[in-house]
Amino acid sequence: MSNAIQLAASDRVFVLTGAGISAESGIATFRDAGGLWEGHRPEDVASPQAWARDPALVWRFYSERRASAASALPNAGHVALADLQEALGVDSVFLCTQNVDSLHEQAGSPQVFHMHGELYKTRCERPACTLAPFEDRELYFGELPRCPECGARLRPHIVWFGEEPFGMRRITREVQACDLFVTVGSSGVVYPAAGLVREILYRRQQGESCRSLYVGLEAPANAGGFQDVRLGKAGEVLPGLFTVTR
Ligand code: APR
C-alpha cells in the first residue's frame, strides 16, 4: 500500500511553504514559542509602525536573523520540493514561500517566489525611488544605512504586517491554474496566504477536479479547506510523497 500522491506528467502543482519547512534547519517559526519570535512580538519588529518608531531595533532584529540564518542548511523537505520541480518540470511546479530565508534556493529549487520578501535583500524605504532591491548580507547594528540614490533610509526587503505581499496577481493566477495545491508548515493564520486554499474549494464547487494537501506538524487554522492533511515533520513526510506517472 502506498500513501504517495500520484501526479500525471501534465499536472501543475502550486506549493506554498511556511516557517515549518525551515524548522528542521534550525530557523525558529513564528508562532510555536508562545507567540514570541526570538523574544519579540512579531508586530513589534516587523511592521511599518515599528520601523517608524525604532528603525535601529528593526535593523538589529533583521541583522540577527541574517547572522543566524547564514549557517542554516536546507533539510530533506526543501530537497524533496526541489526534486518535485525537477521531476515535473520547473514550469509545472510553482514554488511560493512565505519564508524570507534562502533555503529553497540552497536546496536547488530553480524557481522560488518570495511573497513575503527576502532576508538577504535591502531596498530604499521611499516607494518611488529608482533603486532596485539588491543583494545584501551586511549586518546593521550601528549607523542606519542610507540609499545611494536618494539619501532616504534603506530598509529590509521584507513584507511586514500591514503591508501587501508581493505578486498577489501572479500568485492568484497560479492557484487558479493548478491541479494540486500543497501547503507545507504554515499555521494558516496570516492572510492572504492562508486564504489561497479557498480558491481550490471554490473551483471544486464548480466541478473542477483540483485537489489540496496540507503537510505539517499539526493541523493548521485553515485545515478545513484541505482535502488531505498529512501530519508530521516536513523533512520526514515530503521525501517520496509525490510520484509522477508518465
Ligand atoms: N515540519 C512541518 N511543519 C512544522 C514543523 C516541521 N518540522 N515544525 C513546525 N511546523 C509547523 C507548526 O506546527 C506551525 O503550524 O509550521 C507552522 C509554522 O507556523 P507559523 O510559525 O505561524 O509560520 P507561518 O505560517 O509561515 O507564518 C506566516 O506570518 O509572521 C508572519 O510573515 C510572517 O511569513 C510569516 C507568516
Sign (positive/negative) of CA torsion 235, 107, 101, 141? positive
Please give the tally of structural domains in the chain: 2
Q: Is 233 in the pocket of ligand 1 (CB under 6 A)?
A: yes
Worst-scoring range by mean pLDDT, 6-10, 34-38, 89-93? 34-38
Residue type, 179: D
230 shares a domain with 151 = no
Q: How far is the CA of 31 from the centre of ligand 1 (A)?
A: 7
Output the residue whose Cα is nearest ligand 1's atom 9.
Answer: 20
Output the residue whose Cα is nearest ligand 1's atom 2.
Answer: 216
Q: Is 216 in the pocket of ligand 1 (CB under 6 A)?
A: yes
Q: Is 18 in the pocket of ligand 1 (CB under 6 A)?
A: yes
Which helix (H) or strand (E) covers residue 121, if one does? strand 117-124
Q: List CB contacts of 104: < 8 A, sequence separation 6 or more.
A: 17, 74, 78, 81, 82, 95, 97, 112
235 shares a domain with 172 = yes
pLDDT digits (tens, 9 = 90+) for 20-75: 999 999 998 887 765 567 688 888 899 999 999 999 999 999 999 999 999 999 99
149 shares a domain with 127 = yes
Please report which confidence band the pLDDT of residue 1 belongs to, taking 50, 70 and 90 as the band edges: very low
Q: Is 182 in the pocket of ligand 1 (CB under 6 A)?
A: no
Q: How far is the CA of 10 from the centre of ligand 1 (A)?
A: 30
Q: How far apart are CA 178 and CA 190, in angstroms?
A: 22
234 shares a domain with 195 = yes
Task: Quote the domain boundaries for residue 51.
Answer: 30-71+121-158
pLDDT at 36: 62
195 shares a domain with 85 = yes
148 shares a domain with 66 = yes
pLDDT at 97: 98
pLDDT digits (tens, 9 = 90+) for 173-216: 999 999 999 999 999 999 999 999 999 999 999 999 999 999 99
234 shares a domain with 194 = yes
- What is the pLDDT of the chain when averaged over all its residues? 95
Strands of the sheet containing 117-124, edge to edge, are 134-135, 117-124, 154-158
pLDDT at 2: 58
Please report which confidence band the pLDDT of residue 18 belongs to, taking 50, 70 and 90 as the band edges: very high
Which helix (H) or strand (E) covers residue 168, if one does? helix 168-177
